[in-house]
Amino acid sequence: MSTSARKTATTIGRTWVAFGELGAVGSIHEIGDGYFYRLLSDEDYRGVFPTLEAAKGALHSAMPHGSERPDFNEH
């Protein structure tokens, strides 16, 4: 899925907010063919991942080195 398509993709009702030590750090959104994430500092969404766990791992990997894995709360 292209970046522009992700911007207009319709979420399927499930979003997870990632909370780190200092508050919200990003979010994961479910779309028809997987999950994409965005850190709060990002201008655009990153990648499409086949599973929620893969998207959680990718979001955590994109955080500054040494960051604890965030908690993910469904909204």
Exposed/middle/buried for residue 75 (C-beta within 10 Å: 0-12, 13-18, 19+)? exposed
| Domain definitions of the chain by residue range | 3-64
Chain CA centroid to CA 63, Å: 11
Quote the strand ranges of the chain, DSSP E.
15-20, 23-31, 34-39, 46-49, 71-74
Q: The pTM is what?
A: 0.82
Helix (H, G, I), strand (E, B) or coil at 34: strand
- Provide the residue-wise pLDDT of the chain in tens; the chain has 75 residues: 444 444 445 556 699 999 999 899 999 999 988 999 999 999 999 989 999 999 999 999 999 999 999 999 998
